[in-house]
A and B are shown apart, each in its own frame.
Chain A
Amino acid sequence: MSFLFTVATTLSKELKVEWRSKEIVLSSALFALLVVLLCAFTLDLPTLAGRPVSAGVLWLAVALSGMLALSRTYEREKGFDAFRALLMTPAPKSGVYLGKTLAVCLYLLTVELVLCLVLELFFHEPVLRALPRLLPVLVLGTVGYAAVGTLFSAMQLRTTLKDLLLGVILYPLASPVLISAAKASQIIIDGGSLVDAADPLKLLIVADVLFVVAGLWLFGPLLEE
């Protein structure tokens, strides 16, 4: 059973299920939108003039709504206990992990693109104009967050603590990704180039590599009882 075939099969299944239910993208987008609106109406924007806040709000919304997406991804596995049949196949579990991580990335990137539009509207910062330069940061930040999130969300399948455990473990681990992504996004929305954001981007790339490698390595053992 080839690794790439397992990745493609898992990704295709995840996207098919999401296309039918639209549950993860819709609920995550609505939740993220609520976070943005709360920030837009409670932050005193005129006194913050000249100090970009949209990058922080963007990644705050991604962090919170992302947990919802991660949680729902595994709820599907638990519905009819399908993951047990999955564990009994000879498919490499690292391939299942990568397929799931890529699916979560696609869900979150869709939400982030919607958020960029809303941030431009409510925060009057040039988020859409910066989008071509912002896109690599969004991708890198999302990959890191999804990589660590997909790994630890899998623990939901083996514990009754569920979301509590996920929150306690996920946020401290994902903080280097979220902080670096927010810092790099802030520089870019502020008119800077990717070179200007090199420092946080380097940290982001290192965290991504570490989390993806750890996920590929640990996902299988984590699912075993």
Chain B
Amino acid sequence: MSEPITSVRLAGVSKVFGAVRALSPTTLTLGAGEVVAVLGPNGAGKSTLLSVLSLLTRPTSGQVLINERHAVAQDTCRIGLLAHAPLVYPELTARENLRFFGKLHGIDALETVVREAESAMEISEFAADRPARVLSRGQLQRLALARALLHRPNLLLLDEPASGLDASSVTLVGRAVQAVREQGGMAVLVTHEPLIAAQLATRAVILVKGRARVDAASPGDVEAWRKLYFETVGGAS
């Protein structure tokens, strides 16, 4: 297992897919305990930014530095990713999925950790008997969150975490982010919801057309987030 992640720095990172520039050179620093909300209109490069941070996508230029050294493949085992897709096997039950990924993460006392994850994400009721393919969008999202947190990551990356979740389930996302912060970790959440950003984030990054137009401390309440967002995005369009 690699060392815990205490800082992440994107130094002039850009990403080009064919003729499309998804992310212009971007610099972003993340420290322990920080929760960064990344907002922006569709196609702004938010998911690309998250994918680069997850180390699954290699940037076209620039560097990803973890603990002030070049990121290496082994660092991924300290990263938890909640993506658009749930990243689980449809034919396996929730418990089997958690066991499978837990084994590949080399988690000790796996059964206990799996039961705790099921309980924390409130999926115990259906974890053992229903394949993931028949779960509802919200249930899948909770399973995906359990899978992302199973190995106790230091860097939690959340792409539209509230997608498909009802209001009470959204609190699970808050708890997950809080748990990572308490362990000295950090989180990045991509969202369209100023409410989620206002509740969880300590910092705001607003991307427009692949460029970070805002990188500042949390503006405060949900209205302040809305105002900041529309001023930035409106001014850019």
User: Which residues of the partner chain A approach B140 to less than 8 Å between Cβ atoms?
Assistant: 80
Interface readout for A77-104 with B: 1 if CB under 8 Å, 0 if not? 0011110111111110000000000000
Bound: A1/B2 CA distance, A: 12
Q: Does A44 contact B (CB under 8 A)?
A: no
A225 touches B77 (CB 8 A): no
Given contacts A80-B86, A86-B104, A90-B106, contact A21 B132 (CB under 8 A): no
Bound: A88/B73 CA distance, A: 8
Given contacts A9-B100, A88-B81, contact A80 B91 (CB under 8 A): no
Q: Does B6 contact A (CB under 8 A)?
A: no
Contact with A84, one of B2, B87, B104 (Cβ below 8 angstroms): B87
User: Which residues of the partner chain B approach A9 to less than 8 Å between Cβ atoms?
Assistant: 100, 103-104
In the complex, identify which listed stretch (A12-20, A137-145, A163-171) lies at the interface while the others stay far away. A12-20
Contact with B96, one of A16, A86, A225 (Cβ below 8 angstroms): A16
Interface readout for B88-121 with A: 1 if CB under 8 Å, 0 if not? 1111100010001101111000000000000000
Chain A residues with a Cβ closer than 8 Å to the other chain, count: 24
Q: Does A54 contact B (CB under 8 A)?
A: no
Q: Does A76 contact B (CB under 8 A)?
A: yes
B56 touches A13 (CB 8 A): no
Q: Does A122 contact B (CB under 8 A)?
A: no
B91 touches A81 (CB 8 A): no
Chain B residues with a Cβ closer than 8 Å to the other chain, count: 35
Q: Does A5 contact B (CB under 8 A)?
A: yes
Q: Does A71 contact B (CB under 8 A)?
A: no
Contact with B58, one of A79, A85, A224 (Cβ below 8 angstroms): A224
Bound: A82/B90 CA distance, A: 9
Q: Does B124 contact A (CB under 8 A)?
A: no
Bound: A21/B92 CA distance, A: 10
A13 touches B100 (CB 8 A): yes
Considering the complex, give the chain A residue whose CB is closest to the CB of B80: A88
Bound: A89/B88 CA distance, A: 13
Q: Does A185 contact B (CB under 8 A)?
A: no
User: Which residues of the partner chain A approach B1 to less than 8 Å between Cβ atoms?
Assistant: 90
B56 touches A88 (CB 8 A): yes
Bound: A17/B83 CA distance, A: 23
Which parts of B146-195 form the interface with A (CB within 8 Å)? 147, 151
9 interchain residue pairs of minimum CB distance: A81-B85, A85-B87, A89-B104, A91-B104, A90-B77, A88-B76, A17-B91, A1-B106, A9-B103
Residues of A within 8 A of B (CB): 1, 5-6, 9, 13, 16-17, 20-21, 76, 79-82, 84-91, 224-225
11 more contacts with CB within 8 A, not counting A1-B106, A85-B101, A90-B74, are: A13-B100, A16-B92, A17-B89, A17-B92, A20-B131, A80-B86, A80-B88, A81-B86, A84-B81, A88-B81, A89-B76
Residues of B within 8 A of A (CB): 1-2, 54-58, 73-74, 76-77, 79, 81, 83, 85-92, 96, 100-101, 103-106, 131-133, 140, 147, 151
Could you jot down 21 A-B contacts, CB within 8 Å? A1-B106, A5-B103, A6-B104, A9-B103, A13-B96, A20-B131, A76-B91, A79-B89, A79-B90, A79-B133, A81-B83, A84-B81, A84-B85, A85-B87, A85-B88, A86-B101, A89-B101, A89-B105, A90-B1, A90-B76, A224-B58
